[in-house]
């Protein structure tokens, strides 16, 4: 089991790396992509990757209502695709 100090150091390093990536021009120009990448990374850092779903991203990142229809609104899948090809 990692020590609290090692865990804290890893936590700081992960977030520092995320902040470095977020300084890239594409993320500076696009708050939506920046917010998405931050959300995905924070869920990953917290060990909550099982909670990363298109519907949840639409609600939590893009502030869609719970009546959101992912079949007609591709906000989450479109931004995730853009982030994949950019990052």
Domain ranges of the chain: 4-86
The pLDDT-based confidence of 74 (bands split at 50, 70, 90) is low
Q: If you search the block for the tokens 């502030």, which residue do you land on?
A: 63
Angle between helices 31-45 and 4-22 (to 10 degrees): 160
Q: Which two tokens stand for residue 63?
A: 């502030």
Q: What are the tens digits of pLDDT across the range 4-58? A: 787 778 888 999 999 999 999 999 999 989 999 999 999 999 999 998 888 888 8
| For residue 87, pLDDT beyond 60 | no
Q: What is the pLDDT of residue 27?
A: 92
The pLDDT-based confidence of 81 (bands split at 50, 70, 90) is low
The pLDDT-based confidence of 76 (bands split at 50, 70, 90) is low
Buried-state track 49-76, b at ≥16 Cβ within 10 A, e below 16: eeeeeeeebbebbbebeeebeeeeeebb
Is residue 21 a contact partner of residue 27, using CB atoms and an 8 Å limit? yes
């Amino acid at each position: 089991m990692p020590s609290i100090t090692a865990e804290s150091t890893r936590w700081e390093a992960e977030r520092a790396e995320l902040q470095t990536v977020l300084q890239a021009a594409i993320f500076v120009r696009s708050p939506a992509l920046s917010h998405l990448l931050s959300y995905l990374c924070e869920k990953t850092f917290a060990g909550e990757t099982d909670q990363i779903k298109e519907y949840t991203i639409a609600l939590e990142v893009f502030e869609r209502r719970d009546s959101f229809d992912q079949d007609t609104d591709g906000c989450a899948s479109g931004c995730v695709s853009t982030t994949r090809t950019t990052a």
